[in-house]
Amino acid sequence: MKSEPLPENQLNPHIALPTIGTILPIAGGSSLELQTNKQKKDHYRLVNNVAVQGPIHYIEWSKTPLTFSKQDLNLERYPHADVMVIKANIAAWEINRILIDSGSSMDIIFVNAFDQMKLSRNQLQPLDSPLVGFGGKRIEALGKISLPVSFGDLQNARTEYVTFNVVGLHYSYNAIFGRGFANKFNIAIHTGYFCMKMPALHGVITVYGSQKEARNIERAIHKS
C-alpha cells in the first residue's frame, strides 16, 4: 500500500516522525564482481578494517568546541538553497570562487586558476588513481600538488598543506575544497548559515561564504 507524507502545514516541527519501516542500502551487483581470490581477500580486509572499533584518538584541536549561534547568520536571504562559495589564501594568492563540497573526496584546482598562480606544471606529480566525476566519467587531471592554504589574520591564523588535483577543465569555480580539506582543518560547516568554523591557536576562525557570488555563478552557469 502506498503511503502519503503529511502536508507541511500539518507537521509539528517539535515531534519526531514515527518509523514505518527500514530501507537498507543496495549491496553487491556487477560493480562488486570479484574475479580472483586476491581481490576477494583485499575487499574483505578493507570491510573488516572499517568495521573494527578501536580506541578513540583525540587530535590537537579536539579541545576546541565549534558552535554556531544567531550571531553567525549574516545573509541577504534566508532560508536558501545556495552552494557555499568562499575565498582563501592558497600559496600566497587570494583565490576567489572556491566551492565547498563535502561530498567530494578530492580537493581540486582548475587549470585556469593554477596557471594564474604562476606555478610551474613541472611541479605536478602523477595521480595515485584516475579522477572519476558524476556519472562515472573520467576527468582529465594534469597531476597533483601540495600547497599551503591559510585562513585568519595576524592575531589568529591557521595554515595547512592540502594536496590538490589540478584538473584541465575550464569551470565556473577556481577550486573545490572537499573532504580532504575539511578533515585537515577540522572544520564544521553550517550550510544554512553559510559559514564554516575551524579551530586555531588563539581561538576559532569563522569563514563566511558569499551568497552574492554563489548566485552570480549559478546565473552564469544557467546562461551558458
Q: What is the pLDDT of residues 104-140, one digit of tens each?
A: 888 999 999 999 999 999 999 998 777 776 556 777 7
- 178, pLDDT greater than 70: yes
- State how far the Cα of 178 lies from the Cα of 192, in Å rounded to an integer: 18
User: Are the C-beta atoms of residues 205 and 140 closer than 8 Å to each other?
Assistant: no
Read off φ and ψ for residue 63, nearest 5 degrees.
-75, -10
Can you give the pLDDT at residue 152? 92
Buried b (16+ CB within 10 A) or exposed e, 39-71: eeeeeeeeeeeeeeeeeeeeeeeeeeebebeee
Tens-digit pLDDT profile for residues 68-113: 998 988 877 778 888 999 999 999 999 999 999 988 888 999 999 9
pTM: 0.75
Q: How many Cβ atoms are within 10 Å of 16's Cβ, its own excluded?
A: 6
177 and 107 Cβ atoms separated by less than 8 Å: yes
CATH for 63-223 is 2.40.70.10
* Average pLDDT rounded to a whole number, residues 164-188: 92
Instruction: Place 218 in a pLDDT band, splitting at 50, 70 and 90.
Output: confident
Work out the average pLDDT over 43-47.
62
Q: What is the mean pLDDT of the chain?
A: 81
pLDDT mean over 172-188: 94
- Strand partners for 190: 195
Over residues 144-171, the mean pLDDT reads 92
pLDDT of the residue at 24 = 46
